[in-house]
Chain A
Amino acid sequence: MAPVGPRSGDAIFASVERVNAELFTLTYGAIVRQLLTDLEEVEEVNKQLDQMGYNIGIRLIDEFLAKSHVSRCVDFRETAEVIAKVGFKMFLGVSASVTNWDSDGTCCSIIFEDNPLVDFVELPDTCQGLHYCNVLSGVIKGALEMVSMKTEVTWVRDMLRGDDAFELQLKLLKQVPEEYPYKDDE
């Protein structure tokens, strides 16, 4: 059998089942609002959204690897490119780009303008500290942890706060060496 090469984000997005983005957007809005009611503190909501994203990330990586045919990335640069070019496209149908590399290639920014999560959203004055899309940073963190990379993901720019784009800073903290034997029962 011929080896299968990695597929482009567009090709995958075209082939998977899709739903209306507004259902997604409004459902996410309902979640955020429920969290704000339950937890009251904006900081707590940020934390919870991040946690939810993490939970999603650790499961989403399986589907990502199965559908994208991406094999092990040679370095963190390639990892970031794959997230922006394939991951964002495949799940959210939007394009993102990677810039602002530091000299040793462990820190970069993912920048995107289209973001289905924020349609119809306006941050009220009482929620200025809210990272509305914090679920995204959690997803990236969770997914990368499953491929042995500990990362820190922070928001640098946010269009809901009046910036001209969304910017996520991705910082590689360490590569976790794979351990043997794998514990299957945990």
Chain B
Amino acid sequence: MIGVSKIKQHSNVLDKPLSKGKQEVSLSAFAFLFSELVQYNQAKVDNIAELERRLEDAGYAVGARVLELLCHRDKGNRRETRLLGILSFVHSTVWKALFGKVADSLEKGTEHEDEYMISEKELLVNKFISVPKDMGTFNCGAFVAGIVRGVLDGAGFPAVVTAHFVPMEGQQRPRTTILIKFTEEVNTASPALYCNCVCLVMYICQ
């Protein structure tokens, strides 16, 4: 059968040009998929903390990839090494790419030096979600918290990131605040001195 059998050429992702990232799918397609992610994980756990942890894990995987993708595409292979730089990268570049808009606010915690908050009036993943009373403080924003942690971790700024509902006066639905607490090794007092020793993987781009 010479000449008949097809040689299977496995496509190599690195050989493909990097897309511009302008492609879109319908919001419902994403909402349906996300809902399956939540339901699947809900069936696997017996408490809320564990469920949030699993959603965060899934988000972390997304965040790690988003960092690489955006640094590669938007920032000419450069990555932020300053704390404020990476925070505004998350707040503007990452948010804009993933959710189509810049996050509503980025604030520094008033009580602790190492805490920062990103707030969003209506987080995309919470749009179609109502949390039943018996699930208390559960917030699907844990997925987005995971994305943020993935980005920060990949950039060399390890942090504990959590999502919380904050009730707002005059609004029916609470806003979601992503609380970022940097670990001790990230010296937030003098961000410029924090030496970032994670090697930047150099890409050979087309």
Contacts and interface: CB of A to CB of B under 8 A. Distances in A.
Interface of A: 13, 16-24, 26-31, 33-35, 38, 48, 52, 55-56, 59-60, 63, 90-93, 116, 119-123, 135, 159-162
B50 to A, nearest CB: 13
B52 to A, nearest CB: 14
Interface stretch (B5-13, B74-82, B183-191): B5-13
Contact of B28 (A23, A60, A123, A135): A60
A27 B54 contact: no
A147 B21 CA distance: 35
A30 B58 contact: yes
Given A18-B24, A22-B69, A162 B37 contact: no
Contacts of B27: 16-19
Given A27-B30, A30-B62, A22 B97 contact: yes
Given A19-B30, A93-B23, 18 more contacts: A19-B24, A19-B25, A19-B26, A19-B99, A21-B21, A22-B21, A26-B66, A27-B30, A31-B33, A31-B58, A52-B40, A56-B32, A56-B35, A60-B32, A91-B25, A92-B25, A93-B26, A123-B10
A82 to B, nearest CB: 16
Interface residues on B, range: 35 or more
A161 B8 CA distance: 8
A34 B54 contact: yes
Given A27-B30, A60-B28, A119-B19, A52 B36 contact: yes
Interface of B: 8-13, 19, 21, 23-30, 32-37, 39-41, 44, 54, 57-59, 61-62, 65-66, 69, 97-100, 124
A34 B57 CA distance: 9
19 contacts: A17-B28, A19-B25, A19-B100, A21-B21, A22-B23, A22-B97, A23-B99, A26-B66, A31-B33, A31-B36, A52-B36, A92-B26, A92-B29, A93-B24, A93-B25, A120-B69, A121-B13, A159-B11, A162-B11
Secondary structure dominating the interface of A: helix
A89 to B, nearest CB: 9
A99 B68 CA distance: 39
B98 A30 contact: no
A119 B36 CA distance: 20
B25 A116 contact: yes
Contacts of B44: 38
A21 B33 contact: no
Contacts of A30: 37, 58-59, 61-62
Contacts of A28: 33
Given A26-B65, A91-B28, A122-B12, A20 B97 contact: yes
A120 B65 contact: yes
B26 A160 contact: no
Contacts of B66: 22, 26
A17 B35 CA distance: 17
Nearest to B59: A30
